[in-house]
Amino acid sequence: MAGHADTLRLRNGSVVNGSFVGGTADEVRFLVNDQVQRYPRADVEAIVFSSLVPPPPSAPPSTEAPRVDAGPDYVGAPFLRGANGYIPLERETGTMSRAGGLYGMGAPVYRVPGPRSPVRVRQYDRIVFVVRLNPGDDPYRFQLYRLDSRMNYRQTQATMSGRPPALPVNVNKVSDSVYEITPARPLYPGEYAVSPMNSNDSYCFGVDY
């Protein structure tokens, strides 16, 4: 056996760096400065072979250009980011109605059909929406709303201002005209919709326990 930069440790505390070139029951031969030195085996505490010391991990140089996220094929609609691609949300058209109850006199709300969205995520999933826009479009026009579920529809929460309260989101640009939209805080179980401002398009989903 022969190696490079092996280490010989002697019982007297000395350390010799060189290359192990052989040995017998009585001695160990080490190549030091191009000369073979002989050490009694009884004086040798250990031999550390460089071939047994794993090199530090290093990433091989990449010859490929960084992957650019082109986003969903469809422009202008938010999609859920899934493990294997983009998941389309339930697309509905919201209609304005009037709600009674606490605020009386019919506070304006927006309703979509059905009490529950077929698109479901779990409460502790990392929810990321991805939208591809045309150049110049503003990603901040997408708002996230909680919906109250009724017998056969879902509606935005009624407020005295007449404008549905939006939940805070974070917007991050990932590539040219592609953006990630994430809720700024965890979502409670219930029904939700992402909707562009000045549009009745509603992209709905539900959160389960």
Strand order in the sheet with 178-183: 85-88, 79-82, 129-132, 178-183, 169-175
Helix (H), strand (E), coil (C) string for the chain? CCCCCEEEEECCCCEEEEEEEEECCCEEEEEECCEEEEEEHHHEEEEECHHHCCCCCCCCCCCCCCCCCCCCCCECCCEEEECCEEEECEEEECEEEEECHHHCCCEEEEEEECCCCCCEEECCCCCCEEEECCCCCCHHHEEEEEEEECCCEEEECCCCCCCCCEECEEEEEEECCEEEEEECCCCCCEEEEEEECCCCEEEEEEEEC
Q: Which of 91-100, 126-135, 147-156, 159-168 has the lowest mean pLDDT?
A: 159-168
* Global pTM exceeds 0.75: no
Residue 111 has pLDDT above 60, yes or no: yes
Question: Looking at per-residue confidence, does 52 or 154 come out higher?
Answer: 154
The CA distance from 93 to 112, in Å, is: 6
For residues 173-182, give the mean pLDDT: 94
Domain 79-208 belongs in CATH node 2.40.50: no
The CA distance from 131 to 144, in Å, is: 14
The topology under which CATH files domain 6-52 is: SH3 type barrels. (2.30.30)
Q: Which of 189, 190, 193 is nearest to 204 (CA)?
A: 193
The CA distance from 94 to 205, in Å, is: 14
Pairing of the two strands 169-175 and 178-183: antiparallel
Q: Where are the domains of the chain?
A: 6-52, 79-208
When computed from its CA atoms, the radius of gyration of the chain, rounded to whole angstroms, is 34
Residue 201 has pLDDT above 70, yes or no: yes
Q: Which of 82-91, 99-108, 123-132, 185-194 has the lowest mean pLDDT?
A: 99-108
